[in-house]
Amino acid sequence: MKVDGLKKLVNGKNVLIALSGGSDSSVVAYLLKGTGAKLKGVYIRGIDRPDDEAYVKKYFGNEDWIELEIADATKEFLKALKGKTAMREKRLAMRGVYKEVLEKKTKEFGADFIAQGTLYTDVRESDTVMRPARA
């Protein structure tokens, strides 16, 4: 079972979870809930859909098994997007800000792993693989 494998991998470790307000990242958080890891969820504000932040706060803000932080990167996103018109340019600009915020939060938390729920098409598009965090 996947949860048993997760327990073996992350038990006693710090895991930073990028929470988006969507179902993918929420499922990842709940899969990690009983693994013995210290969990911190980070919601990055700035390019959100309506109600994403409220959803994250509602379902993760008052839980004792996960610490939640809202990281406001609105200014950074707007600066990175300024002058960009092509969708690919915008996507790359947003990805850069998102990566910078997650790297900063990874170091602050001392994360051993970063967890993120994403669709396979997103992984292929960004050419990324799951790796342990580099603090």
> Which pLDDT belongs to residue 135?
47
pLDDT digits (tens, 9 = 90+) for 39-67: 999 999 998 888 999 999 999 999 999 99
Report domain extents, the chain. Answer: 2-118
Q: What is the fold, at CATH topology level, of the domain defined by 2-118?
A: Rossmann fold (3.40.50)
Single out the residue of 92, 97, 84 nearest to residue 46, CA to CA: 97
> Which pLDDT belongs to residue 16?
96
Write b or e for each residue in 78-88: b if 16 or more Cβ atoms lie within 10 A of its Cβ, otherwise e: eebbeeeeeee
Helices (H), ranges, 33-73: 52-60
> Which pLDDT belongs to residue 3?
81
In the predicted model, residues of the chain with pLDDT beneath 50 are: 120-121, 123-124, 128-130, 135
What is the spatial distance between Cα 103 and Cα 101, in angstroms, rounded to a whole number?
Answer: 5
pTM score, two decimals?
Answer: 0.82
Pairing of strands 66-72, 113-116: unpaired
